[in-house]
Structure 1
């Protein structure tokens, strides 16, 4: 696809930019973090894995570096309130942004209306972890496979309702990509968060939902929701009998839900590297790996360069999906 070529070009440019910044850095990060607090901005309300990531890292970082590390929840504006705050913050490594997959959809949703450039105004620190979405359907539909779901949707175009946590969310994009690749049509019903979307699913208000493993696992295990498949490239250890969507009849389908941490764009590379090394060490600790794993999230702990390459590939991918679907901000 064309976005692969664009992603490769962007990634190469990003690596060159990181190298140039490193060469221009005047001094190492020997004095960082100093005595100034580090703030993790979460562009969502408390609760959910974004919050878990921020509080886990901030708690352990405050202990290991003997500094104040705090979490600042800044929900609203489809995450733009928090994103804008960090993009405009002092680039000294003391203000960091929790960054999940929907960050890469915003350029496609808003075009030139964003107050920042997603690939220039942030310095990727670390790709912390990844999970998957699970496709669940209403039990009373009597559907027990992805193919049966596709067949039903084709026989009843536009009649099935699917939920999401809003335009550009990972569950919304997962279904839009699914519909594009299967030639199906369903009606989008956005909710203000995962919790109300799941409640609507449990109450039979909607017929289908893609959502993160941590948000659905207890309801699937309790038999309240019928799970059909996971969106990643391989099965999840939490539900080893569930096929991937690709295995179940949609070859090439893949959505990996990622979580990362970024700093303002002009943060000195030595500071970024120091943050990366310590955060990677902290989230690789066995108790954190288990904490995340119990929620269906696999620790990645990447380099800054690898996280940049991920975002650089995701932005054109989701821009294409959004443009082809004609998605508008709701």
Structure 2
């Protein structure tokens, strides 16, 4: 083989370039984690934190946001990618349990189109209102809210981070179980929804505990109840919805990693091992504590069974609410 001066220079430059970034091979594609929601939300923050921990075992990991249609756009994108372990999605309650029951037509099948990798965590939502709204309405707890709504039908509304979100389902379950009317106002992301409540444009929100905690501590939001069957360690004095007068109320936001269907066992084992290790790290434990979340890393089989159980659960909740999106 004849080497020209140009070829020798290019080979040298390539070698120098590789040496500048040890541990990363330019021949290997990075792993992409697709977050089907806007930047800055709980899923996005958690995905980036787990990716940072997992890089030591998996190499370069890139987190990309592909929001839209209640998370359906990003999830459908991953469903149609090659099952080579290079593209995974951070699915959630909405994308893999609620949307299949809420949307008349879904571009993906949450069971058939994905390979479960691991559950990540579960976190409660918290029902909050502003001090101003509380003063104007006299609402200080969930019973007050229900009584006010019954006396003033069609007057109250609630914000959510989008159709199919845990906040949306929490509002619909409250309506169904208490017999009150609340107008649902969906936003593009939980942050925008929370800002609408803080600004007084909407009345209340079932917000993610991690996202709402700063405003709760600052006195800008008043917590009325958490949505899980257990009290949140971060808010030990705040009752559960069941304790507050709405029996059997139990909704939590959860996050999990999925790959396209057909991922081979070797790649699945590698991803599961690395992500479980990252999720169970001390760094993530501290982050989960701040979020009020419970770490739930486990096996692919456990996640697969969990998703089926959640789909069955939310089929009943969506049906009871009467909510449907064409």
Cα shift readout 1:10-39 (whole Å, capped 9, x = no counterpart): xxxxxxxxxxxxxxxxxxxxxxxx933211
- Offset from partner CA, 1:211-258 (integer Å, 9 cap, x none): 110121111111111111000121111110001101111121100111
Q: Does 1:223 align with 2:231?
A: no
What residue in structure 1 maps to residue 63 of structure 2?
Answer: 71
Q: Residues 80-99 of structure 1: matches in 2 within 5 Å?
A: 80-99=72-91
Residue 313 (structure 2) pairs with residue 317 (structure 1): yes
Aligned pairs for 1:54-65 (under 5 A) are 54-65=47-58
Question: Partner of 1:40 in structure 2?
Answer: 33
CA deviation map 1:234-286 (0-9, x unaligned): 11111100011011111211001111111111112332232112211111111
Report how far residue 323 of structure 1 moved: 2.9
Which of 150, 157, 181 lines up with 2:153 in the alignment?
A: 157
Out of 134, 143, 157, the residue aligned to residue 139 of structure 1 is 134
1:165 and 1:172 in contact (8 A); partners too: yes
Q: Compute the displacement of 1:322 (Å).
A: 2.2
> What does residue 228 of structure 2 align with?
232
1:119-268 counterparts in 2 under 5 A?
Answer: 119-137=111-129, 138-140=133-135, 141-268=137-264
Structure 1 match to 2:100: 107
Return the alpha-carbon distance in structure 2 between the equivalents of residues 135 and 44 of structure 1: 21
Q: The residue matched to 1:229 in structure 2 has which SS? A: strand
Counterpart contact for 1:220–1:226, Cα < 8 Å: yes
Give, in angstroms, the shift of residue 298 of structure 1: 2.1
Give the secondary-structure state (helix, strand or coil) at the position aligned to 1:272.
Answer: helix
CA contact (8 A) 1:139 1:225 kept: no
Per the normalisation by structure 1, the TM-score is: 0.85
Contact 2:41–2:189, Cα closer than 8 Å, also in 1:
no
Per-residue deviation at 1:165? 1.6
- Map Cα deviations across residues 138-186 of structure 1 (whole Å, 9 max, x no partner): 3332222211211111221221111112221110111101111111111
How many positions carry a matched residue from both structures?
A: 295
Find the counterpart in structure 2 of residue 24 from structure 1: none
Give the drift of 1:120: 1.1
Query: TM-score scaled to structure 2, two decimals?
Result: 0.86
Cα root mean square deviation, aligned:
1.6
Deviation at 1:326, TM superposition (A): 2.6
Greater RCO structure (CA 8 Å; 6+ sep):
1
C-alpha distance in 2 between matches for 1:58 and 1:146: 38
* 2:269 alignment partner in structure 1: 273
Deviation, 1:75, is 1.2
Q: Following TM superposition, by how much is the alpha carbon of 1:54 offset from its aligned partner in structure 2, in angstroms?
A: 1.7
Secondary structure of the residue that 1:251 maps to in structure 2? coil
For 2:296, the equivalent position in structure 1 comes to 300
CA contact (8 A) 2:138 2:144 kept: no
Equivalent position of 2:11 in the other structure: none
Aligned counterparts of 2:266 and 2:176: Cα–Cα separation in 1:
43
Q: CA–CA distance in 2 between the matches of 1:234 and 1:149?
A: 21
Confirm whether residue 49 of structure 1 aligns to residue 42 of structure 2. Answer: yes
